[in-house]
Structure formats: C-alpha cells, structure tokens
A and B are shown apart, each in its own frame.
Chain A
C-alpha cells in the first residue's frame, strides 16, 4: 500500500497462506501486527505462547450472562492468524486485534423479534435460557471469523424469502475469476493456486490486485441494486462497520509505528487500502452500542474444527491442511508431499485391514500426478489424492475410503491448554444453575427427594438428567423413574473428576443444556435401532430438550421406514406409544409421532407373516414377546384402522403353515380377543391343532400360545375348558410326559388364585365329553360312515354304536 503499511490478505485456515505469511513477516520485519480479530481478544491472545498450549485451540468471546451467545475463534497450527501471533510473541512486538468488537456485533443481534418473545415468556430465567437456546443461530451467526459463513446464512434467509434477490458475494466474484483460469469452482482454484504452494510476499501483492478487481465488480453490482431485504441491509451494514472500524484502527497505528503489517481476510484488503475520509468512517461507527463480553480459551480438535465452522472455504480437511503446512515448512516439493500423504493413507488402510503394498503407493502417486496435470493443476490436491487412492488402493471401492475418511482427512489431533487458563463458560453456567436451583456441590452423600409437579423439582431433575448425559453422574437415581410418576429420589455426591467431563462437555456447547442436547443428538446419529432411538427420546424428554426430541422423531421416522428388523420395531412401539400418552405434559409433538407410528404399523402388519415364518423355536419365542408388546401398543392406541390392520395380519399369521405353533396359537387368541374370529372358529382351530394326527409337541406349543395370559378364558369359557380337558385326557402317557413342560410353562404365568380356581373346577368334574355330542348330528349318517370304516378296517360288518366310540376317533 505504501512504505509504512503492508496489507497481507489471507484465507482463514489456509496452510499456503500461513506459510507465505511467515516468510513475508520475516522479510518485512514489522514493528507492529494488526490482525483481523475481535478487539476483545487483545488482552488474551498472548496466552497462546504459554507453555503447555497446543493447537488446535479456540478463543471464545461470550456474554457472561448467556454464554451460548458467543463468537468462536478456532486456531490451528496452519491458521495464518496463529502464525502471526506466534511471530509477534517470538519477536516481542505488539499485535493488535482490529476487527469490530464482538460486543458490538452481539448487541446489534438483539433483534426486535427475540425481545418480544422474551417479554412474553414468564419471568423465569430457565425459560429465558431456553428461549435463547432454541434461537440457536445467535452464536452461529458470528461463530466464525469467516465472512463466507455469514454469507451462507444470508443465502439461506434469502431462500426462505422467495422474492429476495440474492446479494452479489465474494464467492460469485471469485468464481468468475477462477472460471477464466478454467476452474468451475473457485475453492478448487484457490486451493490449487494458493494453498498448495509455498508462496511469499509477491503472492500477497498479486492477491491484492486480484481482490481489488473482484471487489470493484462487486461494488458495481451492489450499486445497481435498488431493493434490499432487511436481512441483506443488516448484513451490508455490518460489513461496512467492520471495515470502517479496521480503517480507524489502522489510522491510529500509523501515528505510533513505522512498519505496520495488517493481516486480514483477502476480501477486506481492497477496502482497507481504499482512501476513505475519516468523517465518513466516523459516521458509520456513530452510536454503536457495545456489550461487555468475556474471553475464554477452550481446547479444540480437528473434528470440531471441521464441523462447527461448517464453512465452505477452509477446514473440511484439517489433517490434509496440517500435512500441507508441515511440508511447506520443511520445503518439500509436490511429489514428496504426495508420496508422504499416500504413504500415510496406505498405513491407515493397513491398520483397517486392507491390503496395500508399496507398489500401490507408487502407482497411486503416478496417477495423482497425472490426474493433476490433466486437470490443469500444478500439484495434486486432496481430490486427486482421494481419486488415486480409490482407483489404485481400494479397487475403486468408496467403502474403505469412507471408513478411514475421518482419520485420514479430518484427523484426530486434540488441542491442549495449560492448567492455569481461567474457567470455562459451561462451568460458569453450571455454577449459576446450581445457585439458582439452590443446590450445593458437596463431597458427602446427600439424599434429594423431588416432586416433579413443582417447577423447582422438575427443573432440578432436568439438570441432574442433563448432567448424566454429559457423563457427570452427580446425582444417582434411587428408584426407577417411570415417566409417569411424580416422585424422584436422587443421591447427590460431587466428585472432583467431574471437572474433566465438564471440559469435554465444553466442546459440545457453552451451557449444560446445549451440551447435553448436542451429545444426545450425536448419539442419535449413531443409533440405527428403533428401540435405541425411542430410549433416546425418553432421555431427551427427561432432560427437557424439545429441539432434540424434534430431530429424534425425524430420525426415528427415517430409520423406522427402512429397518429390516421387524421385531425391533414391534418391541419399540409400546414404549413409543407410552411416550405419546404422557408426552403432552412434556410438550411432545404428537402429530409427528403419529405419522411415524402409522408407517411402522403399516410395515409391521404387511410384513408380519413373512417375518414370523421359518423361525426356529427360540426365535419364535422372541417373536412372541414382540407380538405381545405390539398387541398392547395397538390396544393402547385403540384406533379402528390399526385394529383392522392388526386383525388382518393376525389372521394371516394364525393359519400360515410355516409359522411356529406357539405363534399361531397366540395369534389365534389375540385375533379372538380383537373379535377377528368367533368362538366357534377358535374352537374349530383348537380341535384341528390338537387332533390326534397332530404332533403332540406342536399341539402343546399351540395350546401354550393360546393360553398365554388367558386364565380367565380357561376358567369361564366352558367349551374351551372341555376341549382342553378332552385333549389332555386322550394323550398317551409318553406324549403326556413330552408336553408336560410346555403345559407347566403356560400355566406358570397364571396367578396362584387363578390356578387354584382352575384346580377347583377340574376337581368338581364339571368336564363332560358328552357336551360335545350334544350338538346336532345325524346318527343315521354316522352309521353309514362307520359301516364303511369297519369294512375298510376289516372289523366285519358288526355295526359299532357311535355313542360307544366317544369323541375320540
């Protein structure tokens, strides 16, 4: 710009930029560095040089009253900002943070809508905290030092408002420039031409020229626009304020220092170089309110660096960037960098049990280099590495690559903080909650009895449940807390090691609420069993995390629709239906659940027969349990449509030959309970299944199914009683011994009173085989059949009286 000031435009978290920056700083030998970072960081950044500090780490600028309102500045070793701070502390020169204070940005974010919502809610701080938690973007909006994120969110808002024409933005401008270089995507172009080179001071000069051109086009397009939505106006205004603020800081520094280096996002360079009158900048910055914020350091990891930031430009691939950065530092060429990366890839593949020889590495390097040449890039990038790996090392399969992706590309690097760094926002949040709920961290055991009907009881219970989710078992449950009961007993005891879990939790969120919510949502993503998800929903309700419940219900919907495990769904349905019944107390969205239940029942009922068929004995008994659970669930739901489907499914199962007898028996009984078949049909089936030609064991299993939970029927259904009696009486001794264990088991479910009553009835001898003969039958027709039978059996023509043969043929 001039002799006094050098503007170095960078991309945040760009390894090429970071390396070039170090070289440029060594060449320029500045006596001050101005860095694009919130003013609040000014006092705390020098801690980065303390012993025991190991990146990735992050600085959190947060509102001490509501820690979830915060701006996060994550730093990795390959972040240019980190290298700048390191240079400053090594050389002992001052470094100033010159971006608009986060306090001003956050104060501006208090939009009128939210203020209304807060005013309407009860004067209850818990409710406030939750209202804030649900309007989550408060922190995300500014959680990045990266403009592109703000632009992305703006784009989302623009999409929501279909009439809004999107603003021109830096990505578009850069896309145009990269298109002229033959690249479809400016990210790929930037990566290929900036990050994969070890640039120097000249690179920054070229970049400034390029960005000036891009900014000119941008400003022109902006001027042609007439209409802006409020969100767009807000966005533009903030950008103006930030740049005006940075210019003001730069002017101040000019008066104090001789050789100034300014390090900021490349997009801002032209704006800082522009000549703007002091009074114009002052006008933009006039009357800005500032909120008092605090700063904390937190350990970070690559995983988080790749997730939270969520911006297109940057840390999708921290491990790759780390690799690039260290090779820039050691001065390796592209081939060496590729070789080392592919050796690392091969190593990880081997650890996962895939064959991968040195020959593979050689071929992969050649392919990656040729591919880069074909794509017009001087050196291979991550995409070329992955393409080559897939094609040469994993026989074209994506699966192994997916398996190692997290380790290979994201990496498992974990940051560390020195012990003397001040306490975390989540710790402060927990302490505040503990004070508010009048609890005490005691190292001795203490019994706490909570009445969930009172707010204080409910909120305490919610806090303890949330802490359990975060692996902080401060309270231990004394009784199983059925969600329907109003009493909960806890044993409280605070352990010092909870501090470690808290530190862990701080990565998930700044409040206990947010952190526990995030943890459960993460677990949710790993759950593929319907039953697990239902259990998670239960925990979320206990913790009172309505947002999480919402996404859990969506997740449930998606896995319930494809789960091949019908039994899992069947057994999960009952707890789910129970959740729905008391869910209204916990503000559960019952409509969404209705839909899930609906699709689950359709699938279960359509597939029940095939899922029940061809099972061995043990599997059949497991299926039986699942059917029991489902039956109760359907009874609870009591919907005519479900009943109808269930009856149809039972009707199919109960007569399907491939289904185990116990299931057929039980489904016949259920069918009868649901009025799907008449008494007469049930009795007919009984006779068919226990007839003498049936295998006694099969017969006993059928009877076992029929008698499950049916003590009352045995007692009061005369026909059934006599059928049962007759069957037992006609069994041969051997057969009787074979079926005895099964009979015992079916009867063991009955209560002792019921057994007593059945016993009494047997003793009364009220059974009578003649009852059955009392029905209409023609003696004449029977005689004809008997005559024929006798002849066939060679018994001569002596007529046999039907009465003497009894019922047993």
Chain B
C-alpha cells in the first residue's frame, strides 16, 4: 500500500472540522458567506482547545493573538499577508486557515523569481484556441482564478520573490474583486468567500518589496519566533514525533533533553542573553524549523550511522555549527558563547568539547 508523505490539512483533520461544524450549528455562530466554519471555530481549529468535551489539537503554538487578527482580517474583504523570519510556520498557518475556512488548502501559487503573469491570472490552451477558436473554454484556470469562481481562499507562497510587475497583477483582483479577460472582452467576478493569503519572509536577500499600492490591500500579520522556551520546545517536540513516525524511527530516549538543550542555546543566542549574562547575537535566524532539523538530523545519524541509538553530542554539534555560523563574524560570536556560557555549564561540557573541535 502506498502512503502519502503529507496528506492535506483538510484530510488530516477531517474529524475535527466535522466536530467544529456541529459546534457552530449548535451555538448558531454567525458565519461569513461560503465559510465552512465560523471565525470562532477557525480560531479554535488552529489554536486548539475543547469542543463538546472533545479535544481539538493545537496546530499552531503560542500565537493565539496573531491567529485572531488573521481570522478577523479574512472576515473583512482585506487580503492577509503573513510576514516573518523563515521557519516560523507561515505556510503552515496559511494552510490551516485555508483548510479551516474553505475546506481546501490546495489552491496554491508558489512565488518564484521566474513566475509570469499567466501563472497568476490565467493561461491559454493554444491547441484549443487554434482548433476551436478563442472562447472561455480555451482558458487554463490558475488556482487564483478557481478560488475567485468558487469563493474560496487562494494561497500565494513567497509573495516577495515574485517580480514586481507580476505582483501588481494582484491589485485589480484584490481591490476590484474581479479579473478582466480582454481577449474575450469578459470579466471574471470574484464570488463571496474569495480571499488571498500570502506569505513572505523578511530575511531573504534579493526580494521584491511590495509596491505601496499592493501592500495597502493587505493586512499584515507578523509571525515572530516563539517568545517562550516552553512553546518552542513543544513545537520542536511535536514535529520530531511526526517526523519519526513518518520514517518509522524510534524516538531516542534522550530526545527531550537534547531538544531542550538545542532550544535553549538557540534562544540564548537569538536573544543575546544567558541568565543575567548579555551576549552578542549571530546573524542567523535559528528558528524552530532549524532546531527541528538539527535534532532530526542527529536522530537520523544515531539511527543509521551510530552504534548507539542515543543522540550523541557530536551529532548535535555538527548541525548546530551549520545553523549558527552563517557568516565569518558568527564564528567569533559562537566562540565567545562557548567560552562564556557553555563552558560554565557542567551538563553541557560534552557539547562544548564537540563544538570546540569544529568551530
């Protein structure tokens, strides 16, 4: 039997969505047109909680406030821009919002530097045009086109990687809620329920900043790195579990301790503070996503290459160095950190020794 690596959110959480729909009905929560869940239920779907005595899993940790702003934005006819450093789960949130609101998270346009206007608006099926002439059936509909027709949420990933002129093609769609097709002298009107969720990250170089005209059509929700260690540990842990399950690997018994350690180091470097001691910050982001990859890499090394099923400090050290040291100056910062912080903690001596060999 074949298994998908990652089923769509609306499939994975089918039961929960049904549960929330029942809850909406029972309490007569008001719903915007074409929403399958009420705004309240969407927030509950993402932030977790309990509905009629049944648990709803928390799918996005530690940002309830931002999720509320995001959902409230989508109830107005403004588009939503999720903005923040890489690895903060912008795409995850966008997927969950689309799954919760429209029950369809697959209407995606992936932004790239080479994308053309046709991929955003519509394309022509030239075979059809040549054989049967130019009519509405000769159109190849893009996900955004479909979302307008269906009154659903369309997702645009990495909006700022899209060239500026192509970006601006979205303005008419967002402000006039329609897409003119001059070749047919027709206009596609967006149906109620249509909206766009875009994601963009603020750390990339060589991005195309949004024009004022376009950015004015978006409400922006900034997703930051987790504010407390507990949340971050939770995020990493739940993802590691998922990854291990996917690969059918046992989770080593010292995984929790190692996650906590990696998260602690990332946070100390990110915030520039260890206890009362102030530190310099390296330029790297050191997001939860990177913590996940450091730990999962270590687990894989332990499972496939090591003699011992436990995670070893040296496995962690390799990944850590790669994440923290992105520029030449980071090496100095990291060395200071080893000298001033890691060295003083007896429990971290093994890691310090392993790091010293490579930093």
Contact = CB atoms under 8 A, between A and B. Distances in A.
Pick from B221, B222, B279 the residue with the most CB of A within 10 Å.
Answer: B222
Interface in B301-348: 329, 332, 335-336, 339-340
A602 B340 contact: yes
A266 interface: no
B288 interface: no
Contacts of A562: 272, 278-281
A562 B270 CA distance: 12
B65 to A, nearest CB: 7
Interface string A390-420: 1110011110000000000000000000000
B59 interface: no
A603 B215 contact: no
Nearest to A557: B278
A367 B72 contact: yes
Contact of A391 (B216, B220, B279, B340): B220
| Chain A CB within 10 A, most for which of B73, B83, B279 | B73
A366 B73 CA distance: 9
A603 B332 CA distance: 10
A564 B335 contact: no
B68 A599 contact: no
Nearest to A392: B219
Contact of A367 (B39, B65, B73, B272): B73
A387 B65 contact: yes
Given A396-B222, A602-B340, A610-B332, A391 B73 contact: yes
Interface residues of B, number: 34
Contacts of A366: 76, 78
Contacts of B68: 371, 374-375, 387
Given A374-B68, A391-B69, A396-B222, A606 B332 contact: yes
A607 B333 CA distance: 9
Nearest to B39: A374
Interface in A103-138: none
Interface in A534-581: 557-562, 564
Given A360-B216, A561-B277, A602 B72 contact: no
Contacts of A388: 69
Contacts of B332: 606-607, 610
B359 to A, nearest CB: 13
Contacts of A557: 276, 278
A603 B337 CA distance: 10
B191 interface: no
B81 interface: yes
A695 interface: no
Nearest to A357: B216
A370 interface: yes
B227 to A, nearest CB: 12
Contacts of A390: 220, 222
A395 B65 CA distance: 16
Contacts of A357: 216
Interface string B43-81: 100000000000000000000010011011101101001
B6 interface: no
A397 B222 contact: yes
Nearest to B336: A606
Contact of B69 (A359, A371, A559, A560): A371
B31 interface: no
Contacts of B336: 602-603, 606
A610 B330 CA distance: 12
A663 B348 CA distance: 39
B72 A371 contact: yes
B343 to A, nearest CB: 11
Contacts of A391: 69, 73, 219-221
B119 interface: no
B101 to A, nearest CB: 13
A559 B272 CA distance: 11
A357 to B, nearest CB: 8
A357 B217 CA distance: 13
Contacts of A471: none
A359 B217 CA distance: 10
A589 interface: no
A374 B37 CA distance: 13
B278 A561 contact: yes
A363 B69 contact: no
B212 interface: yes
B335 A367 contact: no
Given A363-B78, A370-B76, A396-B83, A559 B222 contact: no
Contacts of A396: 81, 83, 220-222
A607 B329 CA distance: 10
Interface in B191-219: 212, 215-216, 219
B32 to A, nearest CB: 10
Contacts of A374: 39-40, 43, 68, 71-72, 75
A244 B335 CA distance: 64
A355 interface: yes
Interface string B84-124: 00000000000000000000000000000000000000000
B222 A398 contact: yes
Nearest to B78: A363
Interface in B254-286: 272, 276-281
A189 to B, nearest CB: 16
Contacts of B78: 363, 366-367, 392
Q: Which of A360, A363, A396 has the most CB of B within 10 A?
A: A396
Contacts of A370: 72-73, 75-76
A766 to B, nearest CB: 48
B219 A363 contact: yes
A205 B18 CA distance: 43
Contacts of B221: 391, 396
Interface in B14-43: 39-40, 43
A387 B69 contact: yes
Interface in A576-625: 599, 602-603, 606-607, 610
Nearest to B65: A387
Given A374-B40, A559-B278, A395 B72 contact: no
Nearest to A375: B68
A395 B221 CA distance: 8
Nearest to B70: A391
Interface string A341-381: 00000000000000101011001001100110111000000
The 7 A-B residue pairs whose C-beta atoms are closest, nearest first, are: A396-B220, A561-B278, A396-B222, A371-B72, A370-B72, A391-B219, A558-B278
6 contacts: A391-B69, A392-B78, A396-B83, A397-B222, A602-B336, A606-B339
Interface of A: 355, 357, 359-360, 363, 366-367, 370-371, 373-375, 387-388, 390-392, 395-398, 557-562, 564, 599, 602-603, 606-607, 610
Given A366-B76, A395-B83, 18 more contacts: A363-B76, A367-B69, A370-B72, A370-B76, A371-B69, A373-B72, A387-B68, A392-B219, A395-B220, A561-B278, A561-B279, A561-B280, A562-B279, A562-B281, A564-B280, A603-B280, A606-B339, A607-B332
